[in-house]
Amino acid sequence: MAGLRDVPAHWLTSEGITKGMDIVCHESALSISISDGSGFVFPLGMTMRTPGMDKELVIGLLFSEGIIDNFNQISEIQVLNDEILVIIPSLDEKNMSEFQRRISSTSSCGVCGKDSISNLLHIHGPELSEDVLIKSSVINDSIEELRKKQSIFQKTGGAHASGLFDVNGKLLFIAEDIGRHNAMDKLVGSILSKSPEIFSKSFILFSGRLSFELVHKARRAGIPVLVAIGAPSSLAIDIALEHGLTLVGFAKNNNMTVYSGRGRISH
């Protein structure tokens, strides 16, 4: 299965020591570059990710950082091992320094540095729908549905998951990755290239805690409701409140905490 790796290990228990092969979540570097197709190539840097859905990961990343506004701006994606080159004919070479990754990001850091954060806060998305209403029971049921589909996590215990659900709790798409932001980018990139109109009438369930950049990615895509099993950060709540996004944390055991946008959640 993609995203998995076998490694030698020893197990120490009260019954003694055994050795064998363990299954872990695969983590490796992906080098990302963009070009206008005329020979100019701009290296964005590297991100650590779980291999699989690399194209979707990069599409989601470019979209969330404002380098593209829709999938049709991309004319070609070239993949060579752990390197990706995206051809964007409308690319403005003069503005690219604003987007360059100042340092290589890790699987736990999607955006690093004050300048990067400041730039993201000025990138908005479509108006969020006020017509979405989701029953708390639907959210509770979706948690179990997401858990059943987390194949990499079930085998390794080391992957985050991001699931897109419709208002009735139907799972539309799921992405897993060792990095929280990567799981979201894979989801957004996949849907963006197929049917982005479903973003406005769906919600995302996330398996871990929520940082501000995950809220930004949801806001950028026009997803009105973001639910997490874990805790949100203070900046995640601030961004959700500012833009009218519904933010739900600690969704487990038939309980949840709504931090913003309570009107989209019904009991």
Alpha helices in 164-233 (DSSP H): 180-192, 212-221
Domain residues of the chain, as ranges? 28-121, 134-266
- Is the distance from CB of 151 to CB of 159 less than 8 angstroms? no
Token pair in block for residue 26: 């695969």
CATH number of 134-266: 3.40.140.10
Catalytic residue (one of 109, 112, 117, 235): 109
Report pLDDT digits (tens) over 166-178: 999 999 999 999 9
Q: What CA–CA distance (Å, rounded) separates 232 from 226?
A: 10
Residue 111 banded pLDDT, cuts 50, 70, 90: very low
- Is the distance from CB of 193 to CB of 164 less than 8 angstroms? no
Residue type, 184: M
- Is the distance from CB of 48 to CB of 185 less than 8 angstroms? no
Does 123 score more than 70 pLDDT?
no
| Dihedral angle computed from the Cα positions of residues 221, 223, 227 and 232, in that order, rounded to the nearest 10 degrees | 50
The predicted pLDDT at position 125 comes to 81
| Share of the chain residues as helix, strand and coil, in percent rounded to the nearest 5 | 35, 35, 35
Does 105 score more than 80 pLDDT?
no
Record the pTM. Answer: 0.90
- Is the distance from CB of 253 to CB of 232 less than 8 angstroms? no
Active site residue 112: no
The predicted pLDDT at position 91 comes to 85
The predicted pLDDT at position 113 comes to 45
Give the CATH fold of the 28-121 domain.
Ubiquitin-like (UB roll) (3.10.20)
Report pLDDT digits (tens) over 13-46: 999 999 999 999 999 999 999 999 988 888 988 9
Does 115 score more than 80 pLDDT?
no
Neighbours of 2 (CB within 10 A): 11
Q: Tell me how far the alpha carbon of residue 52 is from its chain's centroid.
A: 14
Mean pLDDT, residues 201-217: 94
Token pair in block for residue 207: 């398996």
